Structure 1
């Protein structure tokens, strides 16, 4: 079994309702943005004809389609995302990638502040 991954970045704005002190929540309620780094991980055996789990060009093409839905967008308005949390971004990216590539095993999304979330569905 092999794991192969591809990362991509996107810049996006959002708002967020949080369950913290009013002072800390105020900044999240205002429109603000982040640079996100996402990693799409595929897993499987090498295909006998190609020797690859998945062709990286195909994976990059799938990622380009996902990135176009997120990069320089207001995440609050992205259909199917829900609240623009790291968790929901992981699930959204996973679902989009998995439609095209059944080998997708996990997705991670992080921000420069050090926050990171990984989604790996239970088997």
Structure 2
């Protein structure tokens, strides 16, 4: 993977971890207004997950990089996002697998994993590139306690 520079987010934590990964996945947007995107098609998504915290775990990690890869890459690579019905829906626009919603859901599943750790780091940003010219940045809203 080519090293990329991502938009950064300010945070008050001592440590910041970034994990880059890619996954190939198909999807369609179940809306007539999505035009060509309403047809099944695929992308090689490039994701960057930014995690921050003040304390390391019992292994000296903020979080093990392998856990983040397993959580995202191993789950979504070579799949159809629409078939992940535990996360996406053809009925609710907030759960259509648009790049915006995929980025938010990557945040949600990452933060759920982090909430179960002893050191409680925070996912502060998801950068998700769908094509070479299009990407989304998701950050938890300002109201989320860090």
Same fold (TM over 0.5): yes
* Secondary structure in structure 1 of the residue aligned to 2:33: coil
Of residues 32, 38, 61 in structure 2, which corresponds to 1:29?
38
Q: Supply the distance in 2 between the matched residues of 1:107 and 1:95 (Cα, whole angstroms).
A: 10
Equivalent in the alignment of 1:80:
87
Normalising by structure 1, we get a TM-score of 0.78
Is residue 114 from structure 1 mapped to residue 145 from structure 2 by the alignment? no
* Secondary structure in structure 2 of the residue aligned to 1:97: helix
Of residues 99, 105, 108 in structure 2, which corresponds to 1:95?
108
Normalising by structure 2, we get a TM-score of 0.67
Any runs of at least 4 consecutive aligned residues in structure 1 with deviations exceeding 6 A, and if so which? 48-51
- Which segments of 5 or more consecutive residues in structure 2 lack a partner in the other structure? 1-13, 89-94, 115-119
Deviation at 1:59, TM superposition (A): 2.8
Deviation at 1:64, TM superposition (A): 1.3
Deviation at 1:11, TM superposition (A): 0.5
Contact 2:23 2:44 in 1 (8 A): yes
Which structure carries more helix by proportion?
A: 1
1:16-55 equivalence runs, <5 A: 16=29, 17=31, 19=33, 25=35, 27-45=36-54, 47=56, 54-55=62-63
